[in-house]
Amino acid sequence: VDNNQLAHRLSALVGDAHVLTDPALKASYETDFTGRFTGRSRLVVRPADTEQVAGIVGLCRAEGIPLVPQGGNTGLVGASVPTGTEIVLSLGRLTEIGPVDEAARQVTVGAGVPLAEVQRRVRPYGLAFGVDLAARDSATIGGMIATNAGGERVVRYGTTRANVAGLEAVLPDGSVLSRLTGLPKDNTGYDLTGLLVGSEGTLAVLTRARLRLVPIQPRRVTALLALPSIEQAITALTAVRALESLELAEFFLPEGLSLVMAQTGLPAPFGAEYPVYLLVECAGRQDPTEELAEVLDDADILDMAVAVQASDRHRLAAYRDRHTESINAEGIPLKLDVTLPLDEVAGFVRDLPDLLPKRVRPILFGHLAEGNLHVNLLDVASSDEDAVSETVLRRVAAAGGSISAEHGIGRAKAHYLSLSRSPAEIAAMRAVKAALDPTGILSPGTLLP
Ligand code: 2HG
Ligand code: ZN
C-alpha cells in the first residue's frame, strides 16, 4: 500500500486527526530528545485504546509494514525512533487511570500515562510508584516498562520489573494478551509479563499495566556529601546501606557539577571543589536524619549539606538531576549507560580518560548503589564513535559489568549485544522474537541486530 492508502485505512481506525503525515507534525516523533537519533517515518498514528492498537498492528502485519511503538520518546538508545520505512505508533493517548486499589496497593494505568501523572494520582492515598527518574514529566509508563527503567530509587524498590504486577499488550498478530488482575501469587506457567518488561518494543505493543504501589514515607532527609575519592564514596555507601530508610545514592563528579552550575545558574554547593559528590536520601515514618548522621560518623567526608524541607531537598537533588539537560546544552553526547561490580567502579573511572581520544570530555554520574555509571562523552568525532563505544564497552564487559544498566540496547548497542550476552542467550532471544513476531514488523533493528 502506498502512503495515501495507508493513511486512509488508518484514519478509518483512529480518525483523521490522529494520523500525522505532515513532516512538521511528525518531526517531534522522529528525533530523540538528545538529537542523536533521528530518522523518517512513513506516518505517525495515535490510537486511543487497545482495540485501535490491535487494529493498527493487525493491518501492519497483513501489509508487512514495520512499526515502532513510542511512549514519551525520552529513551536514550534510539529504540523509539524510526529509520525510514516504519510508522510510529504513539501510545500517548492511552491515558486512562483506573481506581486505586488501596488494599492490594495497585492501580491499572494506560501505557501513555506519564510517570509524574501516576504519582499525582496515587499520592492522596498515601501511595507512590516506586520507580522515579529525572524524565518523570514526559516518560510514560509504557516506555518505562518496555525499557525496564531503573532510575533513582532502585536501591530501595528495584527496577520497573519489580513494580509491575501485570500487563495488557497487543502481539504482532493483533491478538491481545491481558493479565491485569495483579494477583501476587499466580504460578500458571511462563511469566509473559516478565518477558515483555524490557523487551524494548520488539515483542509486543504495551497498552496497559497493573502497577504495584508503595506507601509514601513521610519523613525525609537529603544529604550531599563531598568525598575524597570513589573508594571513599563506596565506603560511605556501604555505611548508609545499613539503613532500611535508604532510598537514593547518586554520585557525580566536579566536571558534571560545573556544567550544571553553568547551565542552571545554581550556586556552588560548597566553598571548594571536591573529587566526588554523593547524594543520599533516606525516608521513613520517623525522621531519619539522626540515623543517617550516625552511620556516616566514621566516613571520610570532606564537606556535607543536609536538607529536610522539600524545597531545600529539591535544590540539592537538582545538582544531580539536571546533569542530562546540562550536558545536552554543551552538544550531543555519546551516551554509554553501563554497570560495573562495585569494586570495579573506581578503577574504571580512573582508566577511562586513557581509553578515549584526547579531545573527548567524559562526564560521569549515576546510580552508585547499582554501580550504574552514565558515561556521557562530549566532543567525540563522528568517525570515532564506533571505536570509542566499542573500547569502553569492552572494558566494561572485561570487568564483569553490563553494557546496558537501565537504558536498554535499542539501536545504539545492538551490535555490541554479544559483549554482555552469550551465543546461547542470543539464540534463545532470537527464538522468542521469531515465535512472536515471525515477520519482524516490530521495531526492526532494535535489540537484536
Ligand atoms: C538519569 O539517571 C538518566 O538521569 C539519564 O538515566 C542519564 O543522561 C544520562 O546519561
Ligand atoms: Zn539513570
Tens-digit pLDDT profile for residues 25-79: 999 999 998 899 999 999 999 999 999 999 999 999 999 999 999 999 999 999 9
pLDDT at residue 34, rounded to an integer: 86
How far is Cα 59 from Cα 74, in angstroms, rounded to an integer? Answer: 27
Alpha carbons 328 and 247: distance in angstroms, whole number = 27
User: Over 90: is that where the pLDDT of 361 sits?
Assistant: yes
324 Cα nearest atom in ligand 1: 8
User: 343 C-alpha to center of ligand 1: Å?
Assistant: 22
Report the C-alpha gap between 131 and 217 in whole angstroms: 14
| Structure confidence by residue, pLDDT tens digits, 392-425 | 999 999 999 999 999 999 999 999 999 999 999 9
**Do 401 and 341 contact (CB within 8 A), yes or no?**
yes
**Closest CA to ligand 1's atom 10:** 374
Q: In whole numbers, what is the pLDDT of the chain averaged over residues? A: 97
**What is the average pLDDT across 10-25?**
98
pLDDT higher than 90, residue 449: no
Q: pTM of the prediction?
A: 0.97
Spatial distance between the Cα atoms of 6 and 416, rounded to a whole number of angstroms: 35
Length of the chain: 449
Q: Give the number of the atom of ligand 1 that is nearest the alpha carbon of residue 337.
A: 10
Nearest residue to 274 (alpha-carbon basis) of 237, 320, 312, 227: 227
Q: Which residue has the cell 510508584?
A: 129
* Residue whose grid cell is 492511552: 94
Q: What backbone torsions phi and psi does residue 286 show, to the nearest 5 degrees?
A: -105, 155
Distance in Å, CA 324 to ligand 1 centroid: 6
Average confidence (pLDDT) over 125-138: 96
Residue 1: other Cβ atoms inside 10 A: 14
Ligand 1 pocket check for 335: Cβ under 6 Å: yes
Q: Rounded mean pLDDT of 201-211? A: 98
Cell numbers of 269, please? 554547593
Question: What is the DSSP-derived secondary structure letter of residue 268?
Answer: P
* Dihedral sign for Cα atoms in the order 417, 423, 425, 428: positive
Residues 362-380: pLDDT tens digits? 999 999 999 999 999 999 9
> What DSSP element (H or E) covers 260?
helix 254-264
Q: Is the CB of 324 under 6 A from ligand 1?
A: yes
Interstrand relation of 87-90 and 67-70 (parallel, antiparallel or unpaired): parallel
Residue ranges in 281-401 assigned as alpha helix (H):
289-295, 310-321, 323-328, 342-355, 385-398
Q: Give CA torsion, residues 145, 149, 150, 153, to 10 deg.
A: -60
Q: In this structure, which ligand is nearest to the CA of 326?
A: 1
Cα R_g (the chain), whole angstroms: 22
Which DSSP category does 266 fall into? P
> Which residue from 6, 91, 3, 26 is spatially nearest to 53, judged by alpha carbons?
91
Q: Whose CA is nearest to atom 8 of ligand 1?
A: 324
Long-range contacts of 215-218 (CB under 8 A, 24+ apart): 215/105, 215/126, 215/127, 215/128, 216/123, 216/126, 216/127, 216/128, 217/245, 217/247, 217/283, 217/284, 217/285, 218/283, 218/285
Report the percent of the chain where pLDDT is more than 90.
Answer: 99
Q: Which three cell numbers stand for residue 69?
A: 511503538
Residue 55 CA to ligand 2 center (angstroms) comes to 35
Q: ∠ CA(85), CA(86), CA(88), 5° rounding? A: 150
Note whether 51 and 37 are within 8 A (CB): no
Task: Dump strand ranges (E) for 192-285.
Answer: 205-212, 214-215, 219-227, 246-252, 276-284
| Segment holding 6, helix H or strand E | helix 3-14
Distance (Å) from CA 337 to ligand 1 centroid? 8
- Provide the pLDDT for residue 335: 97
